């Protein structure tokens, strides 16, 4: 957690099994504020795209609800979508994730937020891929770099005055 | 394949691994006719619901396309949906499948059709569940019975004059 990327800490990324990637990242903001940045479509549009324009087409944050984001980057338009399996406000979101480029290759993501009690929040995200090959494909496509860019953009959003 | 259910053969169902269910079923119709019954929304609406009203809300049979069916049964309304991963006309469909009752619990189904050369067609479908628990849940929910009812309805459709 000491390497710096544009002033932001890198996420701690590990691989607990051949189908799982675990991500851990601390944010300098209270849990309620992090939760809101993760679940309010207007705020998500401001950081998820890592500086690229992001259109939140659907985002119904409740069990069974769908989400779909379209990122407009210099190299083209990229759609991402999924569905909420479970939502426990402030604490936990379990959802599916897929990229239009590999349709039907679905990842199950379980994200939890822990209040560290000092105005900081620990986010842990475990991605369970459908197959080991799906995991290799996503890691090879630069998953970790994209993630760190998104989290750096989220840091900036969280640092803004309320 | 000798046990009869309302005049139709039962599908041969096996479990190659703790995450996979394999289904094999022969239909008394040429492959082109079976393919059409599986991919034409108007025809699908006539057999998939096993006698219940089925509304085909989306069915874009091509790579990346979505499908969504809503079955109106005596015990309520059930939505099913997924996305096509790969479509090879007459031969193969790879798609995802999930039921609204367990949102985000996604199954990857690979269906192939084999022309048996005597006016019959063999359908093989392999379902790869995300976890062994997901498989147990679906099997426990009566997957095999529902499947045989759907295939019996498909037999009837295929037996109609062209």
Each residue's pLDDT tens digit, B38-70: 999 999 999 999 999 999 999 999 999 999 999
Each residue's pLDDT tens digit, A20-62: 999 999 999 999 999 999 999 999 999 999 999 999 999 999 9
Give pLDDT, residue A3.
43
Of residues A48 and A6, the one with the higher pLDDT is A48
Residue of chain A whose Cα is closest to the Cα of B106: A106
Contacts of B108 in chain A (CB under 8 A): 104, 106, 130
Q: Does B83 touch chain A (CB under 8 A)?
A: yes
- Which of A17, A19, A84, A106 is best to mutate for the B interface (most B CBs within 10 A)? A106
Give pLDDT, residue A65.
98
Tell me the count of A-B CB pairs closer than 8 A. 46
Contacts of A77 in chain B (CB under 8 A): none
Give the closest-approach CA distance of B162 to chain A in angstroms. Answer: 34
- Mean pLDDT of all residues in chain B? 94
**Total number of residues shown for chain B:** 162
Give the closest-approach CA distance of B101 to chain A in angstroms. Answer: 8
Give pLDDT, residue A4.
44
Instruction: Determine, for residues A104 and B98 on separate chains, whether the beta-carbon distance falls below 8 Å.
Output: no
Residue of chain B whose Cα is closest to the Cα of A106: B106
Q: How far apart are CA A19 and CA A50, in angstroms?
A: 26
Q: How far apart are CA B67 and CA B78, in angstroms?
A: 14
Lowest mean pLDDT segment, chosen from A48-57, A92-101, B5-14: B5-14
Of residues A28 and B161, the one with the higher pLDDT is A28
- Which of B81, B106, B127 is best to mutate for the A interface (most A CBs within 10 A)? B106
Q: Does A68 touch chain B (CB under 8 A)?
A: no
- Residue B10 is classified by DSSP as P
Q: Per residue in A41-63, is it b (16+ CB within 10 Å) or e — as a string?
A: bebbeebbbbeeebebeebebee
Residue A2 has pLDDT above 70, yes or no: no
* Cα Rg of chain A, angstroms: 15
Q: How far apart are CA B100 and CA A63, in angstroms?
A: 10
Cβ neighbors of B45 (< 8 A, separation 6 or more) are B54, B55, B56
Give pLDDT, residue A5.
45
Query: Predicted confidence band at B27 (pLDDT cuts at 50, 70, 90)?
Result: very high
- Mean pLDDT of all residues in chain A? 94
Give pLDDT, residue B5.
46
Q: What is the mean pLDDT of residues B136-148?
A: 91
Query: Predicted confidence band at B142 (pLDDT cuts at 50, 70, 90)?
Result: confident
Query: Predicted confidence band at B161 (pLDDT cuts at 50, 70, 90)?
Result: confident
Match domain B3-159 to its CATH number in 3.30.70.100, 3.40.50.300, 1.10.10.10, 3.30.530.20: 3.30.530.20
**C-beta pairs of A78-85 under 8 Å, 24+ apart in sequence:** A82/A106, A82/A109, A82/B104, A83/B98, A83/B103, A83/B104, A84/A60, A84/B103, A84/B104, A85/B103, A85/B104, A85/B105
Query: What is the ipTM, given to two decimal places?
Result: 0.90
Residue A101 has pLDDT above 50, yes or no: yes
Supply A49's token pair. 């795209």
Angle A31-B104-B146 from CA coordinates, rounded to 5°: 155
- Which of B83, B95, B108 minimises the CB distance to A130? B108
Neighbours of A149 (CB within 10 A): 19
Q: What is the mean pLDDT of residues B124-128?
A: 98
């Amino acid at each position: 957690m000491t390497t710096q990327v544009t002033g932001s800490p890198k996420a701690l990324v590990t691989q607990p099994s051949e189908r799982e990637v675990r991500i851990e990242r601390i944010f300098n903001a209270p849990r309620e504020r992090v939760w809101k940045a993760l679940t309010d479509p207007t705020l998500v549009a401001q950081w998820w795209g890592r500086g690229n324009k992001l259109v939140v087409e659907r985002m119904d944050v409740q069990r069974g609800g769908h989400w779909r984001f379209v990122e407009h980057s210099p190299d083209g338009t990229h759609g991402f979508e999924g569905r909420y399996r479970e939502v426990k406000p402030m604490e936990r979101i379990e959802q599916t994730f897929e990229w239009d480029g590999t349709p039907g290759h679905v990842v199950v993501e379980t994200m939890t937020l822990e209040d560290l009690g000092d105005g900081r929040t620990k986010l842990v995200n475990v991605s369970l891929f459908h197959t080991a090959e799906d995991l290799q494909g996503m890691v090879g496509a630069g998953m970790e770099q994209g993630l760190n860019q998104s989290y750096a953009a989220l840091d900036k959003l969280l640092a803004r005055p309320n």
